[in-house]
């Protein structure tokens, strides 16, 4: 028995040695080694720029209905400056990064020390350029950010361990249509919007932010404001074609910036277009889905004269709210519900888009 055991012993040791080797990163497949190494980046701060899809309270009280009922009924249980019944994309990106949603810039004077998780500069209704809303456009938002850096609110280490979220929801194009009354000449305007967006995100990167996540335009032809003309039955293809052109040009710009960057994944594009469509198509196909009224807003005015949150001179409500916001993708005529944003976030999480923020 002793002789037999000694004969097997070297092979046993070799097997153990091989098992130990297989557990080491340096003999993993190249993709696995890359993934493990990249996951070492854990952002400590989130800086947010853009519009109402990302705004968590920058628009002033008294200026917008988002500070009045029924906004915020799902979260935090009262109006809090978000364009939804609850959480928006910013909150879910922060959650993914294991951070708390950053403080809105407009609340910095009240809470000057609450900058641990970053700052949110996004302002509802604004765009890359000036819009009908007299708020800070994206260039001004970046100037606000740079000012905080100059005042040493954030140092180089803070910026190196951070991610920026840049939201584009189409306000520049809404402003174009409102100004000119048609889409004539809008193709050249797309180029201007995309070029300025590229300038903006490159500037954020040069200020020291390691990763910039940029949203594509969502399918604007599917928002209730547009689908109302078809009794909320179908998306408008004309609008969505325009959106697709914008997104294609923007993707080209992002890929060019990554090609010029020392690290080829500094700029990440989050595909809201496909994520929105995926959720909307699923809700149309599945009769058992809780979001049964795909294009119809949960909260809307009692007539075309009013909108979600409207009241008359006697403070009588002039809007209706659906029984369960969790069953609706859209909250008002433009913005998703918390449930809608959560579904979109789940689609993004199942792609490589969000994972790139950890590389």
How far is it, in rounded angstroms, from Cα 84 to Cα 87?
A: 7
Q: Model confidence over 130-161: pLDDT tens digits? A: 999 999 999 999 999 999 999 999 999 999 99
Pick the catalytic residue: 205, 246, 335, 342? 335
Kindly tell me the burial class for residue 236, based on how many C-beta atoms sit within 10 Å of its own C-beta (0-12, 13-18, 19 or more).
middle
Domain boundaries, the chain: 42-286+337-354
The confidence score (pLDDT) of residue 17 equals 37
Pick the catalytic residue: 51, 91, 332, 353? 332
The percent of residues above 70 in pLDDT, for the chain, comes to: 86
The confidence score (pLDDT) of residue 14 equals 37
332 is catalytic: yes
149 to 152, 157, 230: CA distances (angstroms): 5, 11, 48
How far is it, in rounded angstroms, from Cα 300 to Cα 308?
A: 5
How far is it, in rounded angstroms, from Cα 215 to Cα 341?
A: 13
How far is it, in rounded angstroms, from Cα 82 to Cα 59?
A: 9
| DSSP annotation of 328 | -
**Nearest alpha carbon to residue 246 among 297, 193, 175:** 193
**Nearest alpha carbon to residue 353 among 89, 124, 125:** 89
237 is catalytic: no
| DSSP annotation of 51 | S
Pick the catalytic residue: 52, 64, 84, 167? 52
pLDDT < 70 stretches in the chain:
1-40, 263-264, 284-293
First to last CA, the chain: 54
The three-class DSSP label of residue 270 is: strand
The confidence score (pLDDT) of residue 263 equals 67
The confidence score (pLDDT) of residue 18 equals 36
Q: Model confidence over 244-272: pLDDT tens digits? A: 999 999 999 999 999 998 766 799 999 99
Q: Which CATH class is domain 42-286+337-354?
A: alpha beta
Look up the pTM and report it.
Answer: 0.87
How far is it, in rounded angstroms, from Cα 320 to Cα 310?
A: 10
Question: How remote is the C-alpha of 125 from its chain's centroid?
Answer: 15
52 is catalytic: yes
The residue length of the chain stands at 359
How many Cβ atoms from other residues are within 10 Å of residue 247's Cβ? 23
């Amino acid at each position: 028995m002793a002789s037999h055991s000694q004969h097997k012993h070297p092979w046993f040791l070799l097997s153990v040695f091989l098992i130990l080797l297989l557990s080491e990163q340096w003999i993993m497949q190249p993709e696995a080694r890359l993934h493990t190494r990249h996951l070492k980046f854990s952002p400590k701060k989130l800086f947010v720029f853009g519009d109402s899809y990302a705004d968590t309270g920058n628009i002033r009280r008294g200026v917008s209905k988002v500070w009045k009922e029924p906004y915020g009924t799902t979260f935090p249980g009262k109006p809090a400056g978000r364009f939804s019944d609850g959480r928006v994309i910013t909150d879910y990106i922060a959650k993914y990064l294991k951070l708390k949603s950053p403080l809105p810039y407009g609340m910095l004077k009240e809470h000057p020390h609450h900058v641990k998780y970053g700052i949110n500069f996004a302002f509802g209704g604004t765009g890359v350029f000036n819009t009908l809303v007299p708020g800070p456009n994206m260039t001004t938002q970046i100037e606000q950010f740079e000012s905080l850096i100059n005042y040493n609110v954030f140092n180089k280490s803070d910026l190196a361990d951070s991610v920026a979220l840049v939201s584009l929801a189409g306000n520049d194009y809404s402003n174009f249509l409102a100004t000119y009354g048609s889409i004539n000449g809008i193709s050249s305007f797309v180029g201007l919007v995309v070029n300025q967006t590229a300038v903006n995100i490159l500037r954020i990167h040069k200020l020291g932010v390691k990763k910039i996540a940029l949203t594509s335009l969502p399918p604007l032809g599917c928002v209730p404001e547009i689908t109302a003309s078809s009794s909320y039955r179908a998306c408008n293809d004309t609008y969505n074609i325009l959106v697709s052109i914008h997104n294609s040009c923007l993707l080209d710009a992002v890929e060019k910036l990554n090609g010029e960057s020392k690290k080829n994944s500094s700029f990440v594009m989050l595909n809201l277009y496909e994520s929105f469509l995926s959720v909307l198509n699923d809700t149309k196909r599945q009769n058992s889905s809780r979001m049964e009224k795909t294009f119809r807003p949960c909260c809307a005015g009692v007539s075309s004269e009013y909108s979600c949150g409207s009241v008359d001179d006697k403070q009588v409500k002039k809007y209706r709210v659906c029984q369960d916001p969790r069953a609706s993708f859209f909250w008002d005529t433009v913005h998703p519900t918390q449930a809608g944003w959560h579904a979109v976030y789940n689609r993004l999480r199942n792609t490589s888009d969000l994972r790139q923020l950890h590389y």
